[in-house]
Amino acid sequence: MTRADPPPETPDPSTAPVVIVGAGLAGLTVALHLAGQRRVIVLAKRQLGEAATAWAQGGIVGVLGEDDSVESHVRDTQDAGAGLVDEHTARFIAENSARAIEWLVEQEVPFSADPTGPLGLHLTREGGHAVRRIAHAADATGRAIHEALLDRVRSHPSIELRERWMAVDLITSRLLHREEATRCYGVYALDIDSGRVETLAASAVVLATGGVGKVYRYTSNPETATGDGIAMAWRAGCRVGNMEFIQFHPTCLYHPQERSFLITEALRGEGARLLLPDSALATLGSREALRFMPAHDERAELAPRDIVARAIDFEMKKHGVDHVWLDATGLGADFLREHFPTILARCAALGIDITRQPIPVVPAAHYTCGGVVTDLQGRTDLAGLYAVGETTYTGLHGANRLASNSLLECVVLGRTCAEHMLAHPGPSLPRLPDWDESQVENADEQVVISHNWDELRLLMWNYVGIVRTTKRLERALHRIKLLRSEIDDYYANFRVNRDLLELRNLVDCAELIVRSALARHESRGLHFSRDFPQTLPVSFPTVLMRTVRPGRKARALSISS
């Protein structure tokens, strides 16, 4: 039996570390704002560079230019969010956007420069934005930001980085049978290389694990996007909101050797056009008709992502094609080399010269607009538990996220989250129980995990995709319940590993997505139902709650929906 050593004494909240689950922009921002006054442990379940932040190409919003304003940014965010954006949240984020960009510049993020631009930065424009307000580092903004912050974090003596460590579950007062207000005291964390689960007592826990894109067969997300933070918070009793709104990015590269490479929206912002393949000419009659976006929205290629993704899906099904084209040849070879070197190089390696040829693209699951319900300090329903970034539902994204608002939310609320923790250290910590493996054994066959993983992702793609029906959703929910039974049985009887934990989290998130979609009897933003095609005049966020009973074992809470 493997078990963690008990803590030698009751940790004082001023000396116990803050445990941050996730090493993307949200988690690193919190860590850097805390590190001057608190000890921090950051858990990364894969290598540090594999966070979703590093995959972000387009940029980060900053209300900086003389032609821009907070009001304009709030209005664009609300328009994209299709009536479900919380105006107070959107305004707070917009008002703090310039400060966020300035902080990133202080961290030596190498943004693309323009001597005539605000703060000396080149600003680009993306779909849904009225003006140029996107600060970027060519077409690899996320990687540039992530690497700069990682350099800072690695060199800070108060921050401990643990690669290949994965949180298993939260340790809460319910688990400890304590009668005080519900609180989080730490996490159980798996050292993936040793297979040992350790008890990490924490003055506070921050969930910054990103979204749940890997619940779908086709996604622009990295392997890390398995909804870990959302699932852990849900199992611990936190509210979860707006999970039906999964953003499908309109343009993911369509190629047999590259199934998750994103083609940034900034290309369309600079003038690239979406076209049908030449095979559609037989039904269209003329090459001029190959461009299809003007028929779907007056903003054409600059419409918000939900509109563009549905338009592509519609045209692909209508004409029986596997992809559409994104034609950027009109931008010129020199411009593409300067502003989109990453896309140019990746496509060139696959035999596609984007200076002379259009790029084959398809929609793919991209961003989770819902998540753990938090306030503007990252606080959840559990005292001592915070969440930041794509893991959360703050009201900013509504029914559809405006391009490049995601990185901004991480930086703005990462700071406010740290500030709240510093001002509220919390009570002394109780002695925490060890992780219990006395009733389990080593897994006999891993094929059960891989089979259920593949089945879950395929049924979500086929039944809970861009266009939905009630019958498809009900079928998906029925199969998810069967999968959950198999997964829970496996979890109860065998030692945990990363694949099992990710699958357990994915099935929780899949059920949340489907239940939320079934509860929304309208079509709005990213949720489109053939059974309810109308948009209701008044609508509200979808918030799910559950009841959690105290459980005896540290291995698994007893949970009832």
Euclidean distance between CA atoms 293 and 301, whole angstroms: 6
Q: What one-letter code names the amino acid at 504?
A: R
Task: Tally Cβ neighbours within 10 Å of residue 458.
Answer: 12
Which stretches of 15-68 are DSSP H helices?
A: 25-34
In the 8-state DSSP scheme, what is residue 166? E
Which candidate, 250, 242, 198, 140, places its Cα nearest to that of 4? 198
What does the alpha-carbon distance between residue 212 and residue 226 come to, in Å, rounded to a whole number?
5
Structural contact between residues 112 and 137, judged by C-beta atoms closer than 8 angstroms: yes
Residue 502 CA, distance from chain mean position = 15
Residue 468: phi and psi, rounded to 5, are -125, 160
Instruction: Tell me how far CA of residue 517 lies from CA of 244, 441, 536, in angstroms.
Output: 5, 38, 15
Output the DSSP codes for 512-545: HHHHHHHH--S-BTTBEESSS-SPPSS----EE-
**Taking the mean position of all CA atoms in its chain, how far away is CA 379?**
18
Catalytic residue among 38, 174, 183, 305: 305
Distances (CA, A) of 485 to 137, 364, 491: 46, 28, 10
Q: How many CB atoms lie within 10 A of CB 257?
A: 9
What is the distance between the alpha carbons of residues 140 and 248, in angstroms, rounded to a whole number? Answer: 20
DSSP letter string, 236-286: TT--EE-TT-EEEEEEEE-BTTBSS-B--THHHHTT-EEE--GGGHHHH-S
75 is catalytic: no
**75 Cβ partners below 8 Å, 6+ apart?**
130
Cα 408 from Cα 60, distance rounded (Å)? 6
Q: What residues are annotated to the active site?
A: 305
